[in-house]
Amino acid sequence: MGDETPALSVVIPAFNEQDYLPRHLPTVLASLRRWETATGQRGEIIVVDNASTDATARVAADLGARVVTEPVRGIGQARNTGAVAASGRYLMFIDADVDFPAEGITDAMRHLASGRCVGGAIPPLYEPAKLGARLLVAAWGLYRRYFGGAQGVTQFCTREAFAALGGYRPDLFMSEDVEFFARLTRLGARRGMPVAHLTHLRVRPSNRRFDRWSSWRMLWWANPVTAHLFLTSRRFWRHWYDSTVR
């Protein structure tokens, strides 16, 4: 392939994901291989083991990912650790429990390599069964439509833009992805390199919280209003971190 330095580094933060990685990581690997085959370039997948108490690290390594460890719990911290370990000129951040579209990396890299954008996102497609969860998804959809932003299920950017922004805020225990993308959007606007929303694609996250948490619990903890309260309080978001549904 020529230069063995990865052009793209995919960073996947993971806490106790031993059961989900075998289902979902292969979809990311397949998308990466498709792009590599088409372009002759090389990428890497870095799974950040974020203080897992299960076999997350071993499972990720067995599936072909490079594993780094971040002992401090926090998804922003984990993403930043992955970025520090990354070799690629371009960075992509993907959640551990998503089915990733086969053309996702190819399309994202097409935008990044064009030099006309600082980054972008692929929106999620949630398909919960419960009415309360569907209402919550709709609320977030309206919020993003009117206020912009993008969730961290898939975000991508140039390494230079990531460094210019100082990465994700590690002190935020919720909405760190929305906050980062807002700053990325403003950076792109200043440079005349707007972010790309790949709305023709969808990333399909698992419905584990939707399926196992009650509707009232989801509506309370994950609505756009509550999600902006006490963002730096680990205690407030303890149910999101300490008793995460697996």
* DSSP-assigned letters across all residues of 94-132: E-TTEEPPTTHHHHHHHHHHTTS-SEEE--B----SSHH
Largest interatomic CA distance in the chain: 54
pLDDT at position 243:
59
Sign of the torsion angle spanned by Cα atoms 10, 21, 105, 134: negative
| CA-closest candidate to residue 35, choices 85, 104, 100, 83 | 104
233 occurs within a structural domain: no
- Work out how many domains the chain is built from and give that number: 1
Question: Residue 2 falls within a domain, yes or no?
Answer: no
220 occurs within a structural domain = no
Q: How far apart are the first and last CA of the chain?
A: 39
- Is there a domain that residue 214 lies in? no
**What are the two backbone dihedrals, phi and then psi, of residue 115, each rounded to the nearest 5 degrees?**
75, 10
In a domain, 135, yes or no: no
Answer yes or no: is 53 within a domain. yes
In a domain, 192, yes or no: yes
Domain holding 102, by residue range, is 8-130+149-207
Give the pLDDT confidence of 134-188 residue by residue, as tens digits.
676 666 666 666 666 677 799 999 999 999 999 999 998 888 998 999 999 999 9
Q: Report the C-alpha gap between 12 and 54 in whole angstroms.
A: 16
According to the model, what pLDDT value does residue 1 have?
A: 40
Please give the mean pLDDT across all residues of the chain: 88
**pLDDT 10s digits, 39-84:** 999 999 999 999 999 999 999 999 999 999 999 999 999 999 999 9
- One-letter amino acid for residue 153 of the chain: V
Residues 71, 51 contacting (CB under 8 angstroms)? yes
3-class SS of residue 148: coil
Look at residue 19 in the predicted model and tell me its pLDDT: 94
Instruction: With respect to residue 202, please indicate whether it lies within any of the assigned structural domains.
Output: yes
**What pTM value is reported for the model?**
0.88
Are 20 and 12 in contact by the 8 Å Cβ rule? The answer is no
Please enumerate in sequence order all residues whose Cβ is within 8 A of that of 15, keeping only pairs 6 or more positions apart, or say none. 50, 51, 52, 56, 73, 78, 244
* Residue 116 burial (CB count, 10 A): 12
> Which residues 6+ apart lie within 8 Å of 167 measured at CB?
76, 79, 80, 83, 180
CATH number, residue 51: 3.90.550.10
